[in-house]
C-alpha cells in the first residue's frame, strides 16, 4: 500500500474516502466529501475513493463505517471515522499546512473550525432547505425571513473578522478557512455573498487554491461520468 509523509514527519498510509457516484445538480460541488478531499490535497496525503451507487449508503456493510449512512466515511488502516469536520481536524492536526504547530494557533484554528460548523452553517442549511421547497416555499416565507436575518448576522460577524485579514487565523490559510469556505459555498444560489465583497473575495481566494481545484475536479468528474440519461435532458 502506498504511504506518504506529512510535514510533521509522520508516515501515513493511503486513506480511503467514501463519495457518491452521482447526485442531482443542486448538490454537486457541495457534498461533504469535498471537505475531506480538499484537506488531503492540502496535506499532500494520497487517498483512494470508495464510490457509492444509489442505495449503497444504506447497506449493512457501509453503515458499519458510517452509522448514519452518509458521506464521507474515512478509512486509514484500522481507523474508521465519520463526520467531515472531525475528519478534517484529524488530517489538519498532523499537517502544518492546515494547522499551526503552536498550542495557541491550534486552539484558535479549532475554535474557528467549530464556528464554521456550529454557528455559521446551521442557519445557511436551514435557508437552503426552505428554498428547495420551490413553489411550496410561499407558506414558509415568514420563517425564511427570520432565518435570513440570522444568516445576515452571521455573515456580518464574519465580514468584520475578515475586514483586515486574508484568513481567519494568524494571517495564513488553515483548516478553519477550508471548512468556512465550504459552508459559504452553500450560498451559491443566493446573492448574499456578492453583496458582501469582503466575504466574496475571501471565498474566491480560498477556492483559487490548487488543492481545492483538484478536489473539486475529482468530485465533479464522477458526477459527469455517472450522470443518468435523464440528467442530460
What confidence tier does 119 reach under pLDDT thresholds 50, 70, 90?
Answer: very high
- Tell me the pLDDT tens digit for each residue of 6-29: 444 455 577 899 999 999 999 999
6 or 210, higher pLDDT = 210
- Tell me the pLDDT tens digit for each residue of 52-85: 999 999 999 999 999 999 999 999 999 999 999 9
Give the architecture (CATH level 2) of 103-209. Up-down Bundle (1.20)
CATH 1.20.1050.10 in the chain, residue ranges? 103-209
Q: Which has the closest alpha carbon to 220: 15, 56, 22, 53?
A: 22
Domain 3-97+212-232 has CATH 3.40.30.10: yes
CATH 3.40.30.10 in the chain, residue ranges? 3-97+212-232
Q: Cβ distance 65 to 71 under 8 Å?
A: no
The yes-or-no verdict on residue 1 having pLDDT over 70 is: no
Query: What does the pLDDT average to over 122-145?
Result: 85
Q: What pLDDT is stored for residue 230 in this prediction?
A: 79
Per-chain mean pLDDT for the chain: 92
Cα–Cα distance, 193 to 198 (Å, whole number): 9
Give me the percent of the chain exceeding a pLDDT of 90.
Answer: 85
Amino acid at each position: 500500500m502506498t504511504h506518504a509523509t506529512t510535514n510533521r514527519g509522520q508516515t501515513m498510509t493511503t486513506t480511503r474516502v467514501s463519495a457518491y457516484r452521482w447526485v442531482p445538480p443542486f448538490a454537486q460541488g457541495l457534498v461533504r466529501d469535498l471537505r475531506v478531499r480538499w484537506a488531503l490535497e492540502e496535506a499532500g496525503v494520497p487517498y483512494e475513493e470508495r464510490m457509492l451507487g444509489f442505495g449503497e449508503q444504506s447497506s449493512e456493510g457501509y453503515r458499519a463505517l458510517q452509522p448514519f449512512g452518509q458521506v464521507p466515511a474515512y478509512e486509514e488502516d484500522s481507523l474508521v471515522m465519520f463526520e467531515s469536520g472531525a475528519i478534517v481536524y484529524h488530517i489538519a492536526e498532523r499537517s502544518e499546512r492546515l494547522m499551526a504547530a503552536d498550542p495557541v494557533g491550534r486552539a484558535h484554528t479549532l475554535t474557528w473550525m467549530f464556528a464554521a460548523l456550529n454557528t455559521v452553517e446551521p442557519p445557511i442549511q436551514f435557508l437552503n432547505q426552505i428554498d428547495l421547497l420551490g413553489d411550496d416555499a410561499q407558506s414558509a416565507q415568514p420563517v425564511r425571513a427570520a432565518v435570513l436575518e440570522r444568516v445576515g448576522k452571521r455573515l456580518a460577524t464574519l465580514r468584520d473578522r475578515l475586514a483586515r485579514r486574508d484568513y481567519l487565523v494568524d494571517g495564513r490559510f488553515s483548516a478553519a478557512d477550508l471548512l468556512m469556505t465550504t459552508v459559504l459555498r452553500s450560498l451559491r444560489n443566493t446573492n448574499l455573498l456578492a453583496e458582501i465583497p469582503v466575504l466574496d473575495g475571501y471565498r474566491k481566494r480560498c477556492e483559487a487554491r490548487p488543492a481545492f481545484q483538484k478536489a473539486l475536479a475529482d468530485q465533479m468528474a464522477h458526477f459527469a461520468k455517472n450522470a443518468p440519461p435523464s440528467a442530460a435532458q
